[in-house]
Amino acid sequence: MGFPATIRDDFPILRVRVNGKPLVYLDSAATSQKPRQVIDALVRYYEEYNANVHRGVYSIAERATAEYEAARAKVARFLGAAGPEELLFTRNVTEALNLVAFAWGRSHVGPGDEILVTEMEHHSNLVPWQMLAQACGARLRSIPFDDRGRLILDDLDRLLTDRTRIVALVHVSNTFGTVNPVAEIASAAHARGAVVVVDGAQSTPHRPVDVGALGADFFGFTGHKMLGPMGIGGLWGRRALLEEMSPFLGGGEMISDVWMDHATWNELPWKFEAGTPNVGDAIALGAAVDYLERLGMEAVAAHEREITAYAMGRLGEIPGLRILGPAVGAERGGVVAFSIDGVHPHDIAQVLDTEGVCVRAGHHCTKPLHRKLGIGASARASFYVYTTTAEIDVLTRALLKTRELFSVAG
């Protein structure tokens, strides 16, 4: 079942002890741990060929440029892009989505137009659209979710109108774990002439992604959740849309020529990459893609299905514990958010920490979702390629201890 235990040896941090206990890292939805191969790629860049890209004629600058562009090509292929020119490097998903909101949104959305999101969006795929709507006099609407964290699509025909310009939705919810039917929604959105923007933060690391098959027009992802470093992510966009868009940021690299009073733009993808890019981290992200492809994304997804099903079963044994999102057996990503009667999520995370267990506590940047559920916060355990059933057992025992600590006083 799952991956051989030897892949854990690739992750140096998994040998660390916390509070005298082995580290049980169950917060991969926040950020993944990094294998030696990724760390080495980053160090190799800085130790052997650190140079700025697209300008130097000397050897190490040529190598830096070649490796940077090779990383782009790898990521583009990984996502099913038509070509590397459709893949823009950004800092993270947040920057990718803001890029779309500014560079596409500001010139295509006007007064009275509509932007459709869902109620389960991460703030990064909600706030940029609120800002766009306010700036352009557009109206923000949302697709609701049901009590199991599934989108209610019955009214989609009513929510989508001829004024809908953008449909922005999360592929896999970072709180519920719901896998949204993006292709179905995209097809309905396209019938109304809207563009479809997908937040792929929690899907890209965990399952095979084909942006074409999804029916997306823009797709954002981040490197640090998929074994890569922080500070590198990207936006895939359909070539035709990227071609007609104006740049997001102005500066060096993104220009073709510059006069004192105007400038012309570089070709794709560099039109959207003003300033010196994050070369080392992009190259390390390429190494992360290599690592994931060696494992095989189908195998990654299968491992997570097993671990998640096991976790849902074990957590279900704990009295008073309520799991948010899809029920046992339903398709879901490798995240399990939960609450325990009478114990605040902060206190859960605090007690778990003394057992070496790392979980997230809070609103996971989905405040409107939590508000709708009538809770301020939840705890969340999330998994990845290195997660074992033994770690889930440690989590379960630690949760039972937490309950005991707080019910003693009650």
Partner 1 sequence: MSLDDLYRDVILDHYSHPRNKGTLDPADVVREGANPLCGDEIRLFLTVRDGVVTDVRFDGRGCSISQASASMMTERIKGQPVAEAERLIAAFKAMMHGEPPAEALGDLEALQGVRKFPVRVKCATLGWVTLEGALAEVGNR
Residues with a catalytic annotation lie at: 365
Q: At its nearest, how many Å lie between partner 1 and the CB of residue 160?
A: 32
Q: Which is nearer to partner 1, 4 or 319 (CB)?
A: 319
| CB closer to partner 1 out of 33 and 339 | 339
Residues 6 or more apart in contact with residue 30 via CB below 8 angstroms: 225, 360, 382
Contact 266, 88 (CB under 8 A): no
State the pairing for strand pair 218-222/233-237: antiparallel
Within residues 380-409, the interface with partner 1 by CB under 8 A covers: 405-406, 408-409
CA distances from 17 to 29, 38, 200, 353, 354 (A): 21, 22, 32, 11, 11
Residues 14-33 that bind partner 1 (CB under 8 A): 19
Considering beta carbons, is residue 249 or 375 the nearer one to partner 1? Answer: 375
Question: Min. distance of Cβ 406 from partner 1 in angstroms?
Answer: 7
- Enumerate residues 6+ apart whose C-beta is below 8 A from 9: none
Residue 374 φ/ψ, nearest 5 degrees: 75, 20
Which is it for strands 378-382 and 360-362: parallel, antiparallel or unpaired?
Answer: antiparallel
Quote the strand ranges of 178-286, DSSP E. Answer: 195-199, 218-222, 233-237, 255-258, 263-265
- Least separation in angstroms between CB 368 and partner 1: 12
Q: Check binding of 367 to partner 1 (CB under 8 A).
A: yes
307 binds partner 1 (CB under 8 A): no
Please choose, out of 223-231, 233-241, 295-303, 358-366, the segment that lies near partner 1 by the rule CB under 8 A.
358-366
Candidates 4, 319, 329, 410; binder of partner 1 (CB under 8 A) is 410
Instruction: Out of 80, 144, 362, 368, name the contact with partner 1 by CB under 8 A.
Output: 362
Contacting partner 1 (CB under 8 A), which of 350, 389, 390, 397?
Answer: 350
DSSP 8-state symbol, 166: E
Question: Strands 218-222, 195-199: parallel, antiparallel or unpaired by DSSP?
Answer: parallel
44: how many CB neighbours lie within 10 A of its CB? 16
CB of 403 to partner 1, least distance (A): 13
CB of 92 to partner 1, least distance (A): 19
- Which one, of 146, 185, 150, lies nearest residue 168 by Cα? 185
| Backbone CA torsion sign across 327, 333, 337, 338 | positive
Instruction: Work out which of 354, 368, 393, 400 binds partner 1, going by CB under 8 A.
Output: 354
Decide: is 346 part of the binding site for partner 1 (CB under 8 A). Answer: yes
What residue ranges bind partner 1 (CB under 8 A)? 19, 344-347, 350-351, 354, 361-363, 367, 370, 376-377, 405-406, 408-410
